[in-house]
Structure 1
């Protein structure tokens, strides 16, 4: 059965994200005392007892002018309400019912989506007065709850049971109507249910996945400095205004995951908050956003670094690029706002010069010029993403590696060690892919200079097509079988 889609709404700072994390069973949404932290819709699978839920965290409901950021946030919340099976409207029971609560309760009474009123922050009897006051909102009996402490979840379960039963009745009626040949109601490109669960969980399998597995979602993170067009890119790729955008810098605060299919291949897109220089990050909320972005990079397979064409490859761009490479992720550079670039030739020269001088450790790093706003060159960007993902997954047989190693050492033998004896490279194998990682067994690894290691890494790139992806090479000491004899 399809899980019950539950949208969690309310004015700012009533505990929506705390309840979202509680029902999801893990800390997904950023929680902070500052009002208005959540801006985009965030989805997650959750459970309440034996009830499967599809959770939607939303921005706080606020009245604002038509062109304000808060108004665009409210439009995202209204979409979540329209698509949900049931809405949980949260109020802060300790504060009591505010005029804003009453205003949006009126809006919800006119909505066709059923509503469950939740009086949050009722722990220890502190919200008893607000709980009784909330009966006057005309949304039925409120559910007393403490999302932070997990109190009242059994009452919430009972309140959701009738809505789950109604959903199952609708599904049964739709099943009797019949879908041709058992087709999925979501369409031909719908993901298998286990794939969606694996994507939302963000966990990697213990076994190494096959490089050409077309059913496994590709984890793609979009990162960069603030206001470089990351959310605009995601919206243009999926063909929907799914993410909040605007001229203001720093609109995105949470890392938002969007499941998408590109040419039949499932992709797990992750939009992230902009990364400023470390010295400028002083606000505690921004520190949480940065931590969320760094976690998205660690869980990604390919990372697209968005850069402004008129401020390309500055110090912060290079810092982010090095961070991605050090994490061992495949990296693609996207030079955005190309349609409005002031001097395209100078921008291309700067990118090439910076790649040669400052990112020489990933020789051959690709870059693509795009316009996220106008949708230009996005197919080429995605082709490059899949190409880099394929390189990142390559495995080389041990036989090929050792024949290659013999040729490399024959052409340029290792130098002499500290004791006047030549270092011998005896054996080589690939320890793992994702990123390509190799182990070389030699007589005295501590004496082998870094310049020779770079020679081997560059040779690996040239011989096996590892241009642009991180390559790790570890030296291991060979065991002498006669040492104990």
Structure 2
């Protein structure tokens, strides 16, 4: 079968070439802040998490006469769209949807091939409002993305996997279409010397990874295939994550960034704590990072055999977890010992359950029944004598569960009330431990007086 083709299209200066370089893994395309740097189609081969395809970087789409240079550039881009199996339509999330995006969105729709909408330049959560505006293009759910920083790669991989022709198993190093189904991607992270490699060796039943009493032995993010109860698992062992100010060695800086990439590609992240010194500041920072990346979380209390004789300790640590980590309320906290091989089955049960919650979809009717009850029980406050009104809610995506609220003056909604809503969603729809995203969409109708 011929290699499938993916075309990257969009207005000038939305970050198409940066995305192209990110996918091919090399700086093949010239990148500059000035628009219009790319003039011709540039092609490259991509191997991306078991996917293999050819990607085409195109000139920015602009309305121009066919006889002009800009017009010829546009014709090259249109030819790439017609030849593509999949189109990545890129917008600038910080600028939002501009009038110039609409005709080209229509052009892409008419091409008849699958389209993945990418809201680029949304690093660190900036530009999310622009990303949500992208719904108006009618090209499906936008992926908040940062080509420059590599944020959103996991979501892009999942989207491509759903629309690209199935790869030849001989070319697929993940063999995700083999019997047993797709591999569940699990990253093991934590501070240095928390016992990550020892735990994975015990899971695999062999000394696959180098271990020892010294902290920081693992420098690479190692990917390993495993099977648990017939379920295919892809394990990622990562270098210990230390506070940035303490990282002096260049190799270790690279290793920590590799660990961050492993988190972004994972579906479930096991944060391994040392049970003898749990919930150190760095542990909380790592869990916060995983939550901010939108990954399902499970907390493993490793070396539990050293503290198991302390009565009431597990209950106390679970209470500490609830108090210290409200953003992942209800997260599974599993005692285990990688060295002794204890608690591994319970850990994996928690991992699979966390993945199911992370991927959960809830019908709009159920969400609005809950919303009506929640706002009746505790109405939103008034602003300048006018009550905030939430009219409607829906789930816009899963992985993690992401909900949008529509109404008037929602930008004035206090954080305490949004916390009330998030906690209510978590409890009503059984979403323990997973990150929950909430977007507020205020009506733009000037005649809408609520």
TM over 0.5: yes
Residue of structure 1 equivalent to 2:322: 356
**What displacement does 1:45 show?**
8.3
Separation (CA, whole Å) in 1 of partners of 2:189 and 2:170: 24
Question: Match for 1:326 among 292, 295, 302?
Answer: 292
Residue of structure 1 equivalent to 2:261: 295
Separation (CA, whole Å) in 2 of partners of 1:423 and 1:197: 52
**What displacement does 1:232 show?**
1.1
Residue of structure 1 equivalent to 2:270: 304
Residue of structure 1 equivalent to 2:112: none
**What displacement does 1:346 show?**
6.6
Question: Match for 1:470 among 419, 427, 435?
Answer: 435
Cα–Cα, structure 1 residues 430 and 347, in superposed 2: closer, same or farther, change >3 Å? Answer: same
Residue of structure 2 equivalent to 1:424: 389
Asked if 1:253 corresponds to 2:253, the answer is no
1:306-325: CA deviations, max 9, x gaps?
A: 11111111111111111111
Separation (CA, whole Å) in 1 of partners of 2:195 and 2:312: 21
Residue of structure 2 equivalent to 1:176: none
Q: Contact conserved, 1:195 with 1:217, CA < 8 A, in 2?
A: no
What RMSD, in angstroms, separates the aligned Cα atoms of the two structures?
Answer: 2.8
Separation (CA, whole Å) in 2 of partners of 1:46 and 1:460: 35
Asked if 1:436 corresponds to 2:405, the answer is no
Q: Secondary structure of 2:253's match? A: helix
**What displacement does 1:352 show?**
2.6
Separation (CA, whole Å) in 2 of partners of 1:457 and 1:214: 35
Question: Match for 1:197 among 172, 178, 184?
Answer: 172
1:170-200: CA deviations, max 9, x gaps?
A: xxxxxxxxxxxxxxxxxxxxxx964982749
Separation (CA, whole Å) in 1 of partners of 2:244 and 2:282: 9
Q: Contact conserved, 2:50 with 2:173, CA < 8 A, in 1?
A: no
**What displacement does 1:218 show?**
0.7
Separation (CA, whole Å) in 1 of partners of 2:181 and 2:293: 25
Residue of structure 1 equivalent to 2:366: 400
Asked if 1:275 corresponds to 2:241, the answer is yes
Higher Rg of the two aligned structures: 1
Residue of structure 2 equivalent to 1:285: 251
Asked if 1:375 corresponds to 2:341, the answer is yes
**What displacement does 1:479 show?**
3.9
1:335-383: CA deviations, max 9, x gaps?
A: 1111122763474355234313221121111111101111111001000
Asked if 1:480 corresponds to 2:445, the answer is yes
Alignment of 1:145-164 (within 5 A): none
Q: Contact conserved, 1:310 with 1:347, CA < 8 A, in 2?
A: no
Q: Contact conserved, 1:308 with 1:336, CA < 8 A, in 2?
A: yes
**What displacement does 1:386 show?**
0.3
Task: List runs of 5+ in structure 1 lacking aligned partners.
Answer: 1-24, 28-43, 48-191, 202-212
Q: Across the two proteins, how many residue pairs are aligned to each other? A: 289
Separation (CA, whole Å) in 1 of partners of 2:378 and 2:50: 56
Q: Secondary structure of 2:403's match? A: strand
Question: Match for 2:305 among 330, 335, 339?
Answer: 339
**What displacement does 1:475 show?**
0.5
Cα–Cα, structure 1 residues 351 and 394, in superposed 2: closer, same or farther, change >3 Å? Answer: same
Q: Secondary structure of 1:324's match? A: helix
